[in-house]
Amino acid sequence: MTIKVLAPDLVARIAAGEVVERPASVVKELVENSLDAEASQISVEAQDGGIDLIKVSDNGAGIPASEVELAFHRYATSKISNLDDLDNISSLGFRGEALPSIATVAEVEISTKASADTIGSYLYLRKGNVVRKENRARSPGTTVTVRRLFRYFPARLKFLKSVNTENSHIANVLSHYALAFPEVRFSLLLDKRLSLHSVGSGDVRDVVNQIYGLELAQKMLRVEGRDTIIKVNGLVSPPALARSNRNYLSFFVNRRWVRSPLLVRAAEEAYHGLLMDGKHPVVVINISLPMEEVDVNVHPTKAEVKFRHEQAAFASVEEAIKEALARMPMATSATTMVMSFPVTSHQQQSTWVVSEKEPTFVAPLSIPGLPILRVMGQLSNTYVIAEGPEGLYLIDQHAAHERILFERVLAQWSRQEVEAQGLLQPITLELSPGEEQIFQTNRENLVQFGFTIEPFGSRSYLLRAVPAVVATTDIVEGIRTLLDNLANKENMIPWEEKIAESLACHSAIRAGQQLSKEEMSELIKQLEQAKQPRTCPHGRPTMIHLSSHQLEKEFGRVS
């Protein structure tokens, strides 16, 4: 279709008003254009967080020389032309807004050639106006270069975060499009370093390998829904490979990357009872459904969609994931049971002692200190049973140990006396583009906690020393969780607490681990000395306390 300016009545119907919010929005729009042009190869380059330069090159259809200038007019698009098309949008773009919006806030160069043309064209725009136009030879495809973004918009420039943060947004955009379009070869250079490349094999697993690493690529479970209208396909992690935030749930609707609380809920519902509190699955799911079943014209950045039948979409996703989890090999589900055990069973067990009128729990923070306790035994290899002058205590061994380690690590850090342990064999760490950005942002902080990490090629690092408290099993997994925790913006706690919390959680004794009497006594002794022994660093109780008075009441000895 040729590029035409949309009629005013059609413009009035589109959810227009797109603003270029940050460099990653530019990358998103340009990559969407390349995908709409059916490119099989898309290279993205950014410098200085995208402020200095963003360059997107593709080998797609190109723009005919006669239409290049028109492409920069507002509401000029080749993708829809009448009202009916609005109900049937199969392209990622459709409003003809991106190129003009970008050209208003930056200097833009475009070089493009459609295959039918004999020569390509080149255009240079400043403040939205064409200042140079010429013919230039090139291979079919398009390259858009955006320079000095927001230079004349200091207010918007001011709102941008650090280069690393902007880079991580860009990496995030690219990662998602690479997942959605596994048949396309993507590459991303951030400040001249290759941050991501996908092979374009058509297999999502290959992209998962590039972004999330080999283990997830090998172990993620295939999802294939049964619904023939709302088709659900993709990969989900076994519960044992869950992450600590929701950044790893990616949904695509007809391969458009969308943010959808509805779909997130559907996925989490499917994992109900399988994940520990605070853990979230890795999900890469595409839902393909007839165009008329979904409205993509609801949000200026096109990142939200509205399903005509929301319940049906929810149910199809939940069902498809449940089926995938049910097909999981036994070995994996067994470890899952152990992992999900403490929190759920803890909550269930607590119900038998809690009466509505008089709660049996001592409110966690009301009495900070602990009296001297005598260990009596271990229940379900998970809880330490102890008695004290005030009655019976059931102590969650993992939560208690977490509290102890958390306070110890923080105290060492504040005295600048963190103990580190050198590793006999350095461990190689392969980071995803997103993880790498968080790592870069927090590098100094990690050093303060005793990590020694050296660069070792593209997105690879060598881990030479770790904090002394760290259990040396699953270190890599521990570091990933730590980076997730640092990236989590919902959680407003200071970075040092985030690090201490992750280290404590990773290193604490697990639920299900048998402890000797001496080990239990030592654990309780250390807990008695903690500043806040009654909660774990996440704020959950470390113990249930049944007072002598309550015991007497329960047994009808007193009224």
120 belongs to the binding site for ligand ADP (CB under 6 A): no
Q: Cα–Cα distances in Å, from 126 out to 105, 131, 301?
A: 9, 7, 24
Q: How far is the CB of 167 from Mg ion (least distance, A)?
A: 23
The tokens for 545 are: 């306390």
Binding-site size, ligand ADP (CB under 6 A): 23
Question: Pick from 60, 93, 182, 364: which binds Mg ion (CB under 5 A)?
Answer: 93
Cβ-proximal residue to ligand ADP, closest one? 93
User: Cβ neighbours of residue 86 under 8 Å, at least 6 residues apart?
Assistant: 10, 13, 14, 80, 94, 297
Cα 160 from Cα 166, distance rounded (Å): 7
Interactions with Mg ion, residue window 95-134 (CB under 5 A): 98
The yes or no reply on residue 436 touching ligand ADP (CB under 6 A) is no
Rounded-to-integer distance, Cα 362 and Cα 524, Å? 18
Phi-psi region of 62 (alpha: psi -120 to 50; beta: other; left: phi over 0): left
Residue 120 near residue 111 (C-beta atoms within 8 A): yes
Burial 358-374 (b: 16+ CB within 10 A, else e): eebebebeeeeebeebe
Minimum gap (Å) between residue 89 Cβ and Mg ion: 12
Query: Which DSSP state fits 149?
Result: T
Q: Which stretch binds Mg ion (CB under 5 A): 91-99, 145-153, 238-246, 491-499?
A: 91-99
Which of 20, 25, 33, 62 is in the footprint of Mg ion by CB under 5 A? 33
Per CB under 5 A, 541 contacts Mg ion:
no
Q: What are phi and psi of 306, to 5 degrees?
A: -120, 125
Q: Kindly state whether residue 123 participates in binding ligand ADP, applying the rule CB under 6 A.
A: no
The pattern of x and - marking residues 94 through 113 that bind ligand ADP according to CB under 6 A reads: xxxxxx--------------
What is the distance between the alpha carbons of residues 493 and 279, in angstroms, rounded to a whole number?
Answer: 18
Among 23, 49, 50, 60, binds ligand ADP (CB under 6 A): 60
Please tell me whether residue 464 adopts helix, strand or coil conformation: strand
Nearer to ligand ADP, 78 or 432 (CB): 78
Q: How far is the CB of 80 from ligand ADP (least distance, A)?
A: 8
Judged by CB under 6 A, the residue of 23, 50, 93, 434 near ligand ADP is 93
**Of 79, 185, 302, 346, which lies in the binding site for ligand ADP, with binding defined by CB under 6 A?**
79
DSSP 188-218: EEETTEEEEE----S-HHHHHHHHH-HHHHH
Selection from ligand ADP, Mg ion, none that 362 binds (CB < 5 to 8 A by kind) is none
Give the residue from 274, 310, 318 showing the smallest Cα distance to 293: 310
CA angle, corner 251, sides to 246 and 253, nearest 5?
Answer: 160
* Shortest distance (Å) from residue 207 CB to ligand ADP: 21
Q: Which does 239 bind (CB under 5 to 8 A by kind): Mg ion, ligand ADP, none?
A: none
Q: Stretches 89-97, 245-253, 540-548, 550-558: which one binds ligand ADP (CB under 6 A)?
A: 89-97
Contact partners, residue 362, CB within 8 Å, separation at least 6: 534, 545, 547
Q: Residue 145: which H helix or E strand, with range?
A: strand 141-147
User: CB of 149 within 8 A of CB of 26?
Assistant: yes
Which of 23, 25, 26, 34 binds ligand ADP (CB under 6 A)? It is 34
316 touches Mg ion by CB under 5 A = no
The correct pick among 18, 45, 58, 166 for binding ligand ADP (CB under 6 A) is: 58
Binding site for Mg ion (CB under 5 A): 33, 93, 98
Binding site for ligand ADP (CB under 6 A): 3, 29, 33-34, 37, 58, 60-63, 71, 76-79, 93-99, 142
